[in-house]
Amino acid sequence: MRIDGCRTRLHLVAVIVFAATWFASPAEAAAPAPPPLTSDEVVARMIAMDAERAAKDRGYRGTRHYTIDYKGFPGDKHAEMVVQVVSNPPNKEFTIISETGSNLLLNRVLHKLIEGELEANGGKNQREVKLTPENYSFGLVGIEDVEGIPCYALQVKPKRDNKFLYRGKVWIDAQDFAVVQISAKPAKNPSFWISSVQIEQRYEKRGDLWLPRTNQSTSKVRFFGGRAELTVDYQEYELAASALR
């Protein structure tokens, strides 16, 4: 299965990694405090740095491992899918390498995730889902560390109901002004059958780019008390145009 589409901006993730600092001195372990900025200043720098990163982006190849577990009526289900992703801006190609488990979860959830990603980042939708003042209101919460990275923590609220927008909290790297982590709920419930969705997403720096590392989401089914947990691991990134040939 191959699907071509525009470059994605967002995949929603969260993970905790512990770094060893046993032999570091206090001066070495402590990063300098970021300068005090307003939420408008943080967002303006983020947008400017995103534009610089986009200009350097020559594409990448990577592998995603999707895992979903549903527990509830009428019975527990499990499915997994491995997908190769080739990004060659402004296009992106998805190739399903393998899939196992519940056909219902594969067809109704995992395949739909790929279709939804392409829809969110195609044409007009791409502009309407970006993390910008046109789509969100921002409020500065403070300066917080994420895995030892000093970040500006921002509360974000969507300016309209849209299934591709979200409300919650984002952490912006205080040096690169890139999104490091997102903890949020969709601005619009994706389905009548779903009562709530919580999304945690984590990014990491690869070369000049910040790319998704993990995505974890928990959905509660409105009836029967069902619960679905989805994890997406982003692996085996290869940067540079030569990797795309």
Q: pLDDT by residue (tens digit) across 71-127? A: 998 899 999 999 999 998 878 899 999 999 999 999 999 999 999 888 877 766 778
Extract the tokens encoding 147: 């895995």
State residue 67's pLDDT score.
Answer: 98
Residues 97, 95: Cα–Cα separation, whole Å: 6
Q: Which of 60-64, 68-72, 160-164, 199-203 has the weakest average pLDDT?
A: 160-164
- Higher pLDDT, residue 242 or 119: 119
Is residue 33 situated within a structural domain? no
Is residue 32 situated within a structural domain? no
Is residue 129 situated within a structural domain? yes
- How many domains is the chain built from? 1
State residue 192's pLDDT score.
Answer: 63
**What is the span of the domain harbouring residue 125?**
2-24+38-244
pTM here is 0.82
Is residue 30 situated within a structural domain? no
Q: 17: how many CB neighbours lie within 10 A of its CB?
A: 10
State residue 19's pLDDT score.
Answer: 24
- 41 backbone dihedrals φ, ψ, rounded to 5°: -70, -40
Is residue 7 situated within a structural domain? yes
Q: Which residue has the tokens 């040939």?
A: 245
